[in-house]
Structure 1
Amino acid sequence: MHKKIPAARITLTLIAVATLSACGTTAMRSTPVACAELPAALASLKNVRVTASKDVAADDKGTPAHCQVTGVAHERTGVDGNAYAIAFEMRLPQAWNKGFLHQVNGGNDGKVVPATGALGVLAVNGLQRGFAVISSDSGHAEADPANKHFGLAQGNAFGIDPQARRDYGYTANDTLFTVAQSLIQRHYGQPPARNYMAGCSNGGRHALVAATRYADRYDGILAGAPGLNLPKAAVQHAWDVQSWQMVHPADPDIRKAFSPDDMKLVAAKVLQQCDALDGAADGLVNDLGRCQSVFKLADLQCAGDKTAQCLSATQVTALDRAFAGPRNSKGEALYSDWSFDAGMGAGNWRFWKLESQIPPWDKLPLIATMGAGSLSYVFTTPPTMTNGTPAALLNFLTKFNFDTDAPRIFARNDLHTESAMQFMTPPDVDDPKLSAFRQRGGKLIVYHGNSDAVFSVNDTQRWFGQLQTNAGADGAAFSRLYSVPGMAHCSGGPATDQFDALGALVDWVEKGQAPQALTASLNPANKEVPANWSASRTRPLCAWPQVARYQGGDLESASSFRCVAP
């Protein structure tokens, strides 16, 4: 049975096809349109409204002179009676490098992040490199006043509307691509020579979805910390909360399950047992896989009463349970297991998993507030209409049933005809091939922090390993995965977390220079770098499954390490 495609989307697709047909041997050229004239020039696009355009001067922070365009597409009324639209911003630099960068954003989306092509690991953003960049809210507004009564779930309530779910999952990106191609053609008088997509977290998920659904459009895709199984990762939130509540059964306050010093103790034990596995005691665990067989959490269990130098038996049990990943009563895995790494004692890990410092959240962690709202409203079908107070959201996770509630991420009904796993994940997530993307010559770089508290690096490695198996000898010819020791979610943590993955991708696509090790340095914005690390420290990030081993020489230099098989 074929779905009826809205006429407006057919119109946009035809425009894109006409534009993209010029990306072959002969580019379609036309008279460039000035920035101020773009709203009128794009007035013929159905169901797209350019609301403003203006020239922006270069600033002293490296932002180049550019044309900034804002607009909306597919304005409509949802099944909940609320107004919806795909709001977007595009920035078109005067010194254009003839490339397009589709910036896909993280979290629940819901707001138009400035279209600069910025990522936490990059020192130079996409706009500064000369890319024309588009960014959007993916079809819903997180601060919609109509949803204010949902409390902390205000940014999740769009999940009531099935089209808003689809836009969030993938269809907004379809629309935005065609809008961007039209803007570029009108403003510069020619289509882009290359198309890229880049994002981290949910943005990384967007990127891997595009590599499957829109393989014919992108020459290069950069996916950071990809939530490729995001609905399953949301089930982990409930598993974590219920694990933390086991620590003190008489007082199941998850914020008290592990003190900051407790988690620093775990991180220190990881370093004690795993740091030197790569030949260098430098505060980084390069051989993460080997570490998992060497590290024994039970070694931290107190022989008697709990002290500052050990963990209680219930703490050890809770951490073991959480890191094994969620399961139903049959023992079937519902998401992924996790790796122990040295970043567990850092603030980002705690913020996600155990405790925040945000009073409106009652200082609960992100998984118990924003994460609970996503699982409740967006990833379960039908949506679970949970009260948006901290207590109610926490209670939703506390009572979440892994036999009867977890399957609802796969559920559909007459209104919500696509399950969360269908609209959120790459269609071939369990058996990735990326055949069309590979055959057109597309290049993919994925990176993931080993201390990510949101999405398991193990899940990404398993996905990538299956991709390599399916691609055979062609796997390394189009894809690379870099896991980053100590790095938290997208950036931060005790890590060398600044590296030019975007530059490596561009060189691969445009110069045929396949990346090997990426050189990572300390990010000046990272406040979790240990004080005893040299400010000049660099490290190689090896293409997975290789790991960096110390060869001798300056311990602070990447040149002293070599990428080898684990």
Structure 2
Amino acid sequence: MTYGRLRAGLAGGIAMAALAACSETTEPATHDEPAAVETVSTGDSCSALAELALEDTVIVSSGLVEAGALELPSAPGARPVDTSALPEFCRVTGSIRPTEASDIYFEAWLPLDDSWNGRFMQVGNGGAAGAVVYSSMTAPLTRGYAVVNTDTGHRGAMGDFSWAMGEEERLTDYQYRAVRETTLKGKDITEAFYGAAPDASYWFGCSTGGRQGLVEAQRYPDDYDAIIAGAPANNWPPLQLSSIHFLNNLSDDRLPVSQLGLLKDAAIAECDGLDGLSDGIISNLAECPFDPASLACAEGDEPASCLSPSAVEAARSLYAGIITSDGTVAMPGPGYGSESEWAAYVTPFFRIGTSYMQNVVLEDPDWDPATMDIDTHLAMLVEHDQGRTTAMDPDLSAFVENGGLLLLYHGMADGIIPHDNTLNYYQSVVETLGEDVASEHVRFFSVPGMGHCSGGDGASAIDWISAIENWDQSGVAPALIEATHPEEGFTRPICEPPYTVTYDGEGPEDDATSFTCEAP
């Protein structure tokens, strides 16, 4: 498959950047008293939304925000959100309360009539949520979307589930109800403001946001016409054990975090050239033969430049994933080239699996993650979840019968959620729907060198919104999509598995037209 003919339009620091890219959800919510916004006369349609009567909903504020004038609360550890290019828009804040325990904060940003593209979009969260993801709302707004987001019903950091202990209703809000309620109320607000229902409704989210999108497709197949789901955290129970597995293996007496760069460099050196070009990017994970034992220390080696026997064992265990005693791979391991991002799970604020086990499953804040037993604790996770957070159902027949389109993507160098988890889910969907139906409604793109949701060594700047718009409007599914490295500017095609990006050996190495998508 030739791109030219089908053109469609140190370790800890890298790990922290990967988490920031996880829908940018490091902002703790400070919205119990939303920042005041400038309003015009009480007769205008924006301020009038304050009087809109919606079931189980309190509209806290509504008012016009002048172009480039939005001020957002700052928070420790949060990336600043650039609002200077935002157009004038109507900002609505509110709380949805379907149960006595619920307080689902949301915001709706509505472009003015002459700027609205006629469409509605909800954007997703990351990790444990707990904040509105302002950084994910800006791009849809500038493109003319009526865009909404929610904190999913609690306030907290993205790796923290302490709020959920003994709070079944609030946990349900996080699992699926908050997104559904925000979808319904967001559409009602959109229709009330413009006097017409949106022509189309799209979902866009990565990580937890990818899981949320799949939950919508599986539980509420009528809600969205098209869903973009990146690196979805949909295989929930073993993903929590994977977090703990990283924590237990990344230590000075096992595999020191300081040696993750050594692993990554060796893996890239081993497998970079499989695509015909040595550019620091692994494009063919399936054929990569890397074994961390190649870095085992020999007599006379400097300890910092090689792996101890325990480090080799730990690395092999992490690459293998979460495996039960009968040999079942419950969660694949991370791909080669993702090693720098593994350190995220060791940071105090993102021990998410440990927090979930302590506060949600065991209700024991003193539980020691070092005591994790895969068989025992996986069974407990599955029993507790009952499919409420998990979104692994491959039967999307109701969604596709409504004309729904699903665009999946995943970075091949994702060290937070393994790429092959999404590949396995996609293959199960194709098998369930049949290749003919799936080819019209489902696409999955693997992005070489991209980390968790974005970033990494590969070309990771990708216009997913245009891809889904073009697909929805033309009826023609994307075959290839172009990606750009955000700093260095080189371009690459991204391909659907089992095709892999391959250099043609002749053209400019920084141009996507010099690469093809080749079958294995």
Bin the TM-score by the shorter chain. 0.7 to 0.9
Instruction: Please state whether the residue corresponding to 1:334 is helix, strand or coil.
Output: strand
* SS of residue paired to 2:141: coil
Matches within 5 A, 1:237-248: 237-244=243-250, 248=253
TM alignment of 1:266-415, pairs within 5 A: 266-291=263-288, 294-304=289-299, 307=302, 308-340=304-336, 342-344=337-339, 346=340, 349-354=341-346, 356=347, 361=348, 366=350, 369-378=351-360, 380=361, 383-387=362-366, 396-411=368-383
Q: Distance in 1 between matches of 2:214 and 2:465?
A: 15
Shift of 1:334: 3.4
Q: Deviations over 1:55-114 (max 9, x none)?
A: 011227321111000000116544xxxxx3111000000110000001121111111222
- Asked if structure 1 preserves the Cα contact closer than 8 Å seen for 2:345 and 2:352, the reply is no
Structure 2: gaps spanning 5 or more residues: 1-42, 69-82
Equivalent residue, structure 2, for 1:483: 446
Amino acid at match of 2:65: V
Q: Which residue of 2 aligns with 1:72?
A: 95
Tell me the secondary structure at the aligned position of residue 388 of structure 2: helix
Equivalent pairs counted in the alignment come to 459
For the residues of structure 2 that align with 1:548 and 1:420, how far apart are their CA atoms?
A: 38
CA-atom RMSD, angstroms?
Answer: 2.2
Tell me if 1:105 matches 2:125.
Answer: yes
1-structure distance, mates of 2:271, 2:159: 40
Q: Is the 8 A contact 2:238 2:322 kept in 1?
A: no
Q: Specify the code of the residue in structure 2 equivalent to 1:443.
A: L
**CA shift for structure 1 position 540:** 0.7
- Partners in 2 of 1:239 and 1:215 — Cα distance? 34
Task: Tell me if structure 1 keeps the 8 A contact 2:338–2:415.
Answer: no
Contact 1:486–1:495 (CA<8 Å) still a contact in 2?
A: yes
Superposition misfits of 4+ residues, deviation over 4 angstroms: 152-155
Partners of 1:445 and 1:481 within 8 A in 2:
yes
State how far apart, in whole Å, the 1-side matches of 2:135 and 2:145 are: 10
Judge conservation of contact 1:451–1:487 (CA < 8 Å) in 2.
Answer: yes
Counterpart position of 2:211: 205
The one-character-per-residue Cα deviations of 1:239-283 (angstroms, maximum 9, x if unpaired) are: 2233335x72xxx6xxxx3243x2222222212221111111111
Secondary structure in 2 matching 1:338: coil
Q: Distance in 1 between matches of 2:453 and 2:160?
A: 24
Determine if contact 2:47/2:63 at 8 Å carries over to the other structure: yes
Cα distance in 2 for partners of 1:549, 1:402 equals 38
Give the share of equivalent positions with the same residue, in percent: 31
> Paired residue for 2:31?
none
CA distance in 1: counterparts of 2:418 and 2:403, whole angstroms: 29
Question: Matched residues in 2 for 1:331 and 1:279: separation?
Answer: 35
Distance 1:195 1:234 in 2: 31
CA distance in 2 between counterparts of 1:468 and 1:196 reads 22
**8 Å contact 1:450–1:484 — kept in the other structure?**
yes
How far apart are the structure 2 equivalents of 1:442 and 1:154?
33
Asked if the contact 1:343–1:494 (Cα under 8 Å) also holds between the matched residues in 2, the reply is no
Q: After superposition, where does 1:41-190 map in structure 2 within 5 Å?
A: 42-43=52-53, 45-59=54-68, 61-74=84-97, 76-78=99-101, 84-94=102-112, 95-114=115-134, 116-117=136-137, 125-142=139-156, 155-190=161-196
AA aligned to 1:556 is D
Distance 1:165 1:300 in 2: 44
CA-to-aligned-CA distance 1:430-476 (integer Å, 9 cap, x gap): x5021111111111111111121221111110111111122222212
The residue identity in structure 1 corresponding to 2:268 is L
TM-score by length of 1: 0.77
Output the TM-score relative to the length of structure 2.
0.83
Taking the aligned partners of 2:496 and 2:309, their CA distance within structure 1 comes to 38
SS in 2 for 1:405: helix
**Cα deviation per residue 1:382-429 (whole Å; 9 max; x = unaligned)?**
x42215xxxxxxx62111222333211122xxxxxxx32511012xx2
User: How many angstroms apart in 2 are the aligned matches of 1:188 and 1:550?
Assistant: 49
> Taking CA–CA contacts closer than 8 Å with sequence separation of 6 or more, which of the two structures ends up with the larger relative contact order?
2
Contact 2:458 2:485 in 1 (8 A): yes
